[in-house]
């Protein structure tokens, strides 16, 4: 039985449900009024960070590809990465970004997929570590007691799993030792591919990957803070609310293109520090347009050129 149509329908239903909840407190008129009154200088600064945002993401991907025997041409890397952005826009948790491996030629797909998953794991480590610290820094009013406690427990378990992932990323020998001691895992093809891929990445490249991931998180969060400031709200905990939003978005990648839940989470977290829900939703939608929708539109000509070639 093919579950993909049902999965897509469920993701769309989650997005529509979240948007419906938001519409009960934030109207389209509220958003258009806020956008029309936005500070042009701060808005421009957030948009001006887009090339840096994209460049940091590209450097993460290229750093891993440096471990290949033959580095693909620069244009091919750039095209594959941009097309991955386009595919990621249409999938929950941006899983479609892994489709970038389809546009790199003459390299085993299994190895490319492993590298792509490692890049996502490094980004996820940074998002979870810093995001959990951000959540703990916020007032306890961002969700009612029981849901908040459940989310913190879930985030804590995720933290521990990502701590293990970080240890493996920094010391791949740990994965090798684990596989050698557990015969069933040793026979798992995917784990063996991950072991080989990690072994092929120089220690300096692994550290560079974490560094690029941290820089990307800071850039992305900074854009969110600039956008919320451009709409008229400034607070010392804005960074924490933005980082917490990204964490919750990563923990619950169940909506279509992450649309809806991201806005719902941002409204809850920014309201806990005194912002109106409309401000957080407006800034979140602007961030989506700048960092996701615009690069995806840029990718469309590359998709046509790829088909032509």
Residue 176 lies in a domain: yes
Residue 31 lies in a domain: no
Rounded CA-CA distance 220/186 in Å is 38
pLDDT tens digits, one per residue of 139-175: 876 676 667 788 888 888 888 888 888 887 777 676 6
Task: Give the pLDDT of residue 178.
Answer: 64
Residue 102 lies in a domain: yes
Residue 142 lies in a domain: yes
Task: Give the pLDDT of residue 212.
Answer: 95
Residue 19 lies in a domain: no
pLDDT band at 80 (very low <50, low <70, confident <90, very high): confident
Residues ≥6 apart with Cβ < 8 Å to 9:
none
Residue 108 lies in a domain: yes
Burial class, 294, CB count within 10 angstroms (exposed 0-12 / middle 13-18 / buried 19+): middle
CB atoms within 10 A of CB 150: 11
Q: Which of 111, 1, 85 is nearest to 302 (CA)?
A: 85
Q: Is the pLDDT of residue 49 over 80?
A: yes
Residue 89 lies in a domain: yes
Average pLDDT over residues 273-290: 92
Residue 275 lies in a domain: yes
Residues ≥6 apart with Cβ < 8 Å to 86:
96, 295, 296, 299, 300, 303
**Phi, psi angle pair for 20, to nearest 5°:** -65, -40
pLDDT tens digits, one per residue of 252-271: 877 766 777 888 899 989 99
Range of the domain at 249: 38-308
Angle between helices 173-181 and 189-199 (to 10 degrees): 150
Q: Domain count of the chain?
A: 1
Task: Give the pLDDT of residue 6.
Answer: 66
């Amino acid at each position: 039985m093919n579950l993909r149509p049902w999965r897509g329908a469920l993701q769309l239903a989650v997005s529509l449900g979240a948007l419906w909840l938001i519409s009960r407190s934030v109207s389209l008129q509220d958003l258009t009024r806020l956008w029309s009154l936005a500070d042009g200088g701060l808005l421009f600064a957030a948009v001006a960070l887009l090339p840096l945002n994209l460049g940091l993401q590209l450097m993460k991907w290229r750093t891993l590809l440096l471990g290949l025997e033959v580095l693909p041409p620069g244009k091919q890397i750039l095209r594959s990465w941009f097309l991955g952005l386009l595919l990621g826009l249409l999938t929950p948790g941006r899983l479609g970004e892994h489709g970038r491996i389809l546009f790199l030629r003459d390299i085993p797909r299994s190895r490319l997929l492993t590298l792509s998953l490692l890049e996502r794991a490094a980004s996820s480590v940074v998002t979870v570590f810093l995001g959990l610290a951000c959540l703990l820094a916020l007032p306890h009013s961002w969700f009612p007691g029981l849901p908040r406690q459940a989310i913190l427990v879930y985030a804590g378990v995720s933290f521990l799993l990502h701590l293990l992932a970080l240890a493996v990323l920094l010391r791949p020998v740990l994965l090798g030792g684990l596989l050698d001691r557990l015969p069933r895992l040793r026979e798992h093809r995917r784990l063996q591919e991950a072991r080989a891929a990690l072994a092929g990445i120089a220690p300096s490249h692994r550290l560079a990957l974490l560094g690029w991931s941290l820089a990307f998180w800071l850039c992305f969060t900074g854009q969110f803070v600039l956008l919320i400031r451009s709409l008229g709200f400034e607070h010392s905990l804005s960074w924490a609310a933005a980082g917490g939003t990204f964490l919750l978005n990563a923990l619950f990648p169940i909506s279509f293109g992450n649309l809806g839940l991201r806005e719902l989470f941002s409204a809850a977290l920014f309201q806990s520090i005194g912002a109106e829900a409309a401000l957080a939703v407006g800034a979140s939608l602007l961030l989506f347009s700048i960092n996701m929708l615009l690069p995806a539109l840029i990718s469309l000509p590359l998709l046509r050129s790829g088909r032509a070639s």
